[in-house]
Amino acid sequence: MARQKGIIKLKGTIGDITFYKTKDGHLAREKGGIDASRIASDPAFQRTRENGSEFGRAGKAGKTLRTALRTLLLNSADGRMVSRLTQTMVKVIQADLTNERGLRNVIDGEAELLAGFDFNIRGKLGTTLFAPFVGTIDRVAGEISVDLVSFVPANMIAAPGGTTHFKISSAGAEIDFEAETFVVSSSETGILPWDSAPTVAINQLNAVTPNSVSPLFLALGVEFYQEVNGRMYPLKNGAYNPLSLVQVSGL
């Protein structure tokens, strides 16, 4: 892989060189690789096919989770979140001790490995929200909740420069990764001032299906705003809004 320099940037293929654009800039690489039909049938590539199958399954699982949390993710995700989530899903699948390699899946893996996943690497929940909170997943009742006692925002929330207000949001998600379906509900506070006045206690309850047999997730996030002439604007288009999976209950 080589980086393109100069005023004119190329896209496409010339001879054996392919020119393309990524988040890292304009790059170029030599064409190569093994024919796809050989990978699909040659016994020598059995491990490759198995890895590919599980990687594809991880990608679909990540997409289902992202779709379920789409409302919160609209302003709380970094540009590499999709690839980071897929990599974590691969680890979940590889933890499956029930099925053979190539057939391992999220359901029989360790969904709990997703706990602590930050959707925005530029704004992590653990370095933003210092107010103590308690997350609870009650599978029998179908209740996914988070509770925060009263706190002083200016002391307990590390806000980026320019912040005047904030909002705390949460979501409870029940996800069937095999069927690629989900049940999700979300909650949010009003837009609160980021100042030295204590908040009221915050209690958010998100309902899913009682006695669900699918993995359950609790996501918690903070959104920052700037007030200008009486109107609230998402700060820096949400670039530093944290959102994290704080509780996960597999099977």
Domain match, 21 and 87 both: no
Q: Among candidates 101, 99, 104, 172, which has minimal Cα distance to 141? A: 172
Q: Helix, strand or coil for residue 161?
A: coil
Domain match, 141 and 153 both: yes
Domain match, 168 and 46 both: yes
Domain match, 43 and 107 both: yes
Domain match, 148 and 66 both: yes
Domain match, 115 and 228 both: yes
The answer to whether residues 148 and 126 touch, using CB atoms and an 8 Å cutoff, is no
Domain match, 13 and 61 both: no
Instruction: For residue 165, list its beta bridge partners.
Output: 193, 225
Domain match, 42 and 16 both: no
Residue 192 CB neighbour total at 10 angstroms: 17
Domain match, 8 and 64 both: no
Cβ-count burial 134-156 (b if 16+ within 10 Å, e if not): ebebebeebbbbbebeebebeee
Q: pLDDT 10s per residue in the chain (251 long)?
A: 667 676 666 677 766 677 777 777 777 776 655 555 654 555 554 555 666 678 888 999 999 999 999 999 998 999 999 999 999 999 999 888 888 887 888 887 789 999 999 999 999 999 999 999 999 999 999 999 999 999 999 999 999 999 999 999 999 999 999 999 999 999 999 999 999 999 999 999 999 999 999 999 999 999 999 999 999 999 988 899 999 999 999 87
Domain match, 129 and 212 both: yes
138: containing domain: 36-249
Tally of structural domains, the chain: 2
Domain match, 102 and 46 both: yes
First to last CA, the chain: 43
